[in-house]
Structure 1
């Protein structure tokens, strides 16, 4: 007898192949390209969006670093340019007192004391100039950014003009060290207004 002649085995094998064929017909098989496109569309878009986001973050961080570098360089320059500001501010009252001594000694300009003090004054002025210190011009119209009005006096002419300087003012490059103390003019009071 032939091995395929067993009727029970042949019926079972036929049933299995009918089931496989029926299963294949009921489940639609997607085309490989369409299945790949639908599965990959969302991840690629997500990856591209994330890459764009990180690129933007990277560019923003690079710009912030560049700004920080520039700000740090500017702060360092200012620190160097104005490193002596506090020392110079504390030196100004000493210079004021020295000038009062010069005025007192100017009664006898041929004395050795006056000649020595004049040499020191010139050295001080040269030192201040080398450090970038300039005297504030205290003539003309009063400027509240540069001048400190300590008093006002009646005077003919335009109001707000500087009449006298009571204490010299100085600036360190473009920064104010001390305003000039000045007396400014005001219009004379009318006699009938009293």
Structure 2
């Protein structure tokens, strides 16, 4: 049994749909050509990145000038840091010298007070009949000398007795109801206060007066 042959119209359609060998060859060669072009472009880019940068004479001189300025700024910074460190050390040394001089002057004035204390202790240890009187005189002398030295150094006493209570100078340790002393005035001073010129060293411990409270209790009415 023979196979049916296609009609002339069907043969034309089959020939038009089938790819030609030349087209296949062109299609196969196209990817290779594209890859070669890509490799060539990539090689050109990589070779361009590896080339050294060339500076003109003007750009090179500008670069040298800026490098020289940077070195000068660095040298100035190091010199300034060294000068500041020397200034800090010199200031600390001068401040210590001033403190030592002040301490020396104060201690020089306190040495006679120490001598008077030693003389008073020596009188106390003796068996002389007038030892007690000598001791009292020695203690008073020491107190006067020490007070004089401290006053010369700028120490002043705070006399609070009878004064209005001042919280910046006084420290109230107790309150008493009094009619003979104005309200909120110092009745008596328990411990002296001291100032170094205008600076408070220790407030005075005082007892403050308070006006008596009115008697709020009343007698009950009889029924």
Q: TM-score, normalised by structure 1?
A: 0.47
Structure ranking higher on relative contact order (CA contacts 8 Å, 6+ apart) = 1
Q: Which has the larger radius of gyration?
A: 2
